[in-house]
Amino acid sequence: MCYLVHHLEFHNNSDHHITDDDLAEIIPDCPNLETTLLSGIPDLSDRTLVSLSHSSHDLRCIDISGCGQVTNVGIWELASHASHLEVIRLNSITILTDPSVSAIARSLPHLRELELCRLPLITASSVRDIWTCARQIRKLKLSRCPQLTDKAFPSATTPVPSPTRSSGTRSYWDSYRLRNRNFSFSSYIGIREKEDIIPRTTVTDKLDLPVVRPRPLSWLDEFPPLVLSSSQKLEFLRILDLSHCWRITDDAVAGVVKHAPGIQWLNLSGCYQLTNLTLTHLAMLNDHLDVLSIAHLDKITDRGVLKLARACSKLRSLDIACKFDPVPVTSSNSSD
């Protein structure tokens, strides 16, 4: 009886009383499913997702937001077998990690919409794959992903072509070796052991100060900038939500504008490190920009907003809300 079903929807806050066990029984009998909205199944498991990916070969849209028991295993199966997927919503699945997002970006050539809001474990490692692989994407939401930094987005710099050996130009490492032929790694370690972060002056030389070492970089800090060529652009990206990704700066916005020049709807609310320089970058979107939210950005001033308004003449909606601290009223004995 389920053979001809194309759309299956179980929304949140509905009294359907359907569990994961019930769903697992009927999924194998629904080979023609195209849209599955399963956010109303809180105990949805990887077992059901694996069955869905193997039985529904024409699956186009899936929404499992809030299904906290889904793990990377279920997402890997979807990315591997449901190759026609165009819309994926994985909001608030807090245990998902980078391999799931990377598998989606690399394996689904028809991906148009991807929602990854409120995923605390997602880092720049997987979001970089979206910018390099998901060329057809139109809608991307990354709201409240606290681990995202500028390294997750393209750099605004232009790649410099590396010289070839046939051109007779030495490479960087060839030049480095020639300059440092007598420099050994052991001597470098010895120098580093003697270095000190605290500056030495005539006053501090008389004091027995402790040696302070810099904090070692994490593997995320060691990522090089994501430098893409001018032809590597997400030309179809129209909706981007980066709200409350508080670690990004103006450099990330510059790279986004350069490699996604057709953005129409943009949300940067709560990214409190952004300044007027961000609005200068956004002004390059010109008539493409239609809706912009820059609420709760304390470093943005009237001058930046005015420059943006002059450049983006077709802007229909601009949210610049901010929270004001109440001014205490002091009592006065004067009659004024």
279 pLDDT higher than 60:
yes
Q: What is the pLDDT of residue 192?
A: 42
**What span, in angstroms and rounded, lies between the C-alpha atoms of 92 and 77?**
19
Residues 228-239: tens digit of each pLDDT: 998 899 999 999
pLDDT for residue 195: 42
Using a pLDDT cut of 70, give the percent of the chain over it: 77
Q: What is the mean pLDDT of residues 158-175?
A: 55
In the chain, % of residues over pLDDT 90? 69
pLDDT of residue 336: 44
Higher-pLDDT residue of 324, 307: 307
The burial of 276, by beta-carbon neighbours within 10 Å (0-12 exposed, 13-18 middle, 19 or more buried), is given as middle
Relative orientation angle of helices 98-107 and 72-81, to the nearest 10 degrees: 10
Nearest to 241 by CA among 260, 224, 223, 225: 260
**H/E segment holding residue 115:** strand 113-115
**CB of 150 closer than 8 Å to CB of 248:** yes
DSSP string, 167-224: GTPPPHHHHHHHHTTT--HHHHHHHHHH--SSPP-TTGGGS-PPP-PPPPPPTTTTPP
More confident residue, 185 or 274: 274
Which carries the bigger pLDDT value, residue 208 or residue 139?
139
Torsion 55-57-59-64 (CA) sign: positive
Report pLDDT for 11.
85
161 has a pLDDT exceeding 70: no
Give the model's pLDDT for residue 159: 72
List b or e across 213-223, with b for residues whose CB sees 16 or more CB atoms inside 10 angstroms: eeeeeeeeeeb
Residue 17 confidence (pLDDT): 85
Q: Report angle CA 168, 170, 174 to the nearest 5 degrees.
A: 145
Helix (H, G, I), strand (E, B) or coil at 154: strand
pLDDT over 80 (residue 187): no
From the list 304, 233, 232, the residue with the least C-alpha distance to 268 is 304
| Residue 184's pLDDT band (cuts 50, 70, 90) | very low
What is d(CA 249, CA 149) in angstroms, rounded to the nearest whole number? 8
Q: What spatial distance separates the first Cα and last Cα of the chain, rounded to whole Å?
A: 82
pTM recorded for the entire structure: 0.80
Q: Is the CA virtual torsion 120, 125, 131, 132 positive or negative?
A: negative
- The predicted pLDDT at position 190 comes to 44
Is residue 149 within 8 Å of residue 248, measured between CB atoms? yes
Determine the average pLDDT of the residues in 194-217. 52
If one compares 148 and 163, the residue with the highest pLDDT of the two is 148
List, for residues 137-150, the tens digit of each pLDDT value.
Answer: 999 999 999 999 99
Above 60 in pLDDT, residue 175?
A: no
Domains, the chain, in order of start with CATH, read: 1-96 (3.80.10.10), 112-155+224-326 (3.80.10.10)
Confidence of residue 66 (pLDDT cuts 50, 70, 90): very high
In this structure, of 59-68, 133-142, 188-197, the range with the lowest mean pLDDT score is: 188-197
φ, ψ (nearest 5 deg) of residue 192: -65, -35
User: CB of 117 within 8 A of CB of 142?
Assistant: yes
Q: Is 188 left (phi over 0), alpha (psi -120 to 50) or beta?
A: alpha
Residue 213's pLDDT is: 55
Q: Over 70: is that where the pLDDT of 30 sits?
A: yes
Q: Whole-angstrom Cα distance, residue 324 to residue 303?
A: 19
How much is the average pLDDT of 292-307?
A: 94
What is d(CA 272, CA 143) in angstroms, rounded to the nearest whole number? 14
